[in-house]
Amino acid sequence: MKLGLVLPGGGARAAYQVGVLRAIADLLPARAINPFPVITGTSAGAVNATALAVHADRFRVAVGNLERVWRNFQVEQVFRADTASMMRSGLHWLFAMMSGGWLLPPPKSLFDNSPLRELLKEQFDFARVSKSIEAGQLDALSIAAAGYITARSVSFYESKAGSVPWARLRRVGEPAQLSLDHLMASVAVPFLFPPVLMGNEYYGDGAMRQASPFSSAIHLGADRLLVIGTRNESHVVCPQPPVCPTFGQIFGYMLDALFTDGLYADMERLTQINNLLDNGLPAQQGELHLRKINLLVILPSRDISEIARHHVGSLPRALRVLLRTMGALNTGGGQLMSYLLFQDSFTRELIALGYQDAMKRSEDLLAFIGGFSVASTGATGVMRRLSSRQEQSAETQ
């Protein structure tokens, strides 16, 4: 049975994934190779996935390099947030809108993320992905992006021989020699970062149109999936009386839906299929062949949006002014902040949280990685908790 690792997007929240990976590295032997033959990533999760793939020969080294970057992150390493850059961006938007595009063309994005390109170029040698595959330390790496022209979710993958491209409604798998452009396309959050031209099409963040985040891992041969999410599913109490959401809160809500709703929908779908197969449903349904996919899901035990609110003071002043103008510093604005808070104080707290959450499930993790069954694992337990919370919420209304 082949184990796959699924790392969804989440902006700065992806630091939580690093903490979970750090725990796994500590649980495994010191010189262990990568334990995940298939690795798939989306947006910031694609950055973490690539880090594991380029050093698949030494899993602890890969995680150590990744942790070092995340523990020392500064916003300026991801996008230009100094006062001059923010003023130029604001004036560009202003003159473009006032002149209808005559004085200046519409800007491609709110932020300039060229510093991130330089950072990733320095950190990743993509030629090592092919070497890891040739050495048998990795079967496949997949990076998701979304095409703006074809309106498709595209999983660009590099794999050992035998993997077959796939095409479904609005989603495809395309073999490719993965590069920095694929990674920059996957992290190109709409409006915030500019799209990336590859071939004859511009691509944006991989979470867009990604209705089936587990699809690429399954197509590439995985039948056991470790999923590291970035959203806590604790019940949110609405303020009394309700307060009209600000633009910043709405934008944070949109990013939250972009990065996580497809994940939970796919989780629910796979859980239902697994239950049907367990109850005797034939695996062969006409031309469709169903197979059971075992899931182990690790989610934050705390609300990351609330954690972010305690670190807003570490952001550059110009960015704080922008967030305040958008209403993201008000009550309920923590979602947007949590995606943009590429600051070491915040990322270190998320790494620590991920490590603690993973260590609490160390027995489950080791059993799952070792190929053993884990009781009440993965989506089943998560969906039960979600259903319970929905029922409790309905009872109080």
Which sequence positions are flagged as catalytic?
A: 43, 205
Three-state secondary structure along the chain? Answer: CCEEEEECCCHHHHHHHHHHHHHHHHHCCCCCCCCCCEEEEECHHHHHHHHHHHCCCCHHHHHHHHHHHHHCCCHHHCCCCCHHHHHHHHHHHHHHHHCCCCCCCCCCCCCCCHHHHHHHHHHCCCHHHHHHHHCCCCCEEEEEEEECCCCCEEEEEEECCCCCCEEECCEEEEECCCCHHHHHHHCCCCCCCCCEEECCEEEEECCCCCCCCCHHHHHCCCCEEEEECCCCCCCCCCCCCCCCCCHHHHHHHHHHHHHHHHHHHHHHHHHHHHHHHHCCCCCEECCEECCCCEEEEECCCCCHHHHHHCCHHHCCHHHHHHHHHHCCCCCCCHHHHHHHCCCHHHHHHHHHHHHHHHHHCHHHHHHHHCCCCCCCCCHHHHHHHHHHHHHHHHHHC
* Whether residue 242 has a cis bond before it, omega within 30° of 0: no
Contact 154, 235 (CB under 8 A): no
Q: Which tokens go with 11?
A: 């902006």
End-to-end CA distance of the chain, in Å?
45
Nearest to 342, CA basis, from 186, 126, 187, 146: 187
Q: Tell me the C-alpha distance between 155 and 133, whole Å.
A: 18
Contact 191, 106 (CB under 8 A): no
Residue 236, CA distances (Å) to 145, 231, 303 in order: 31, 12, 10
Q: Which tokens go with 24?
A: 């796994």
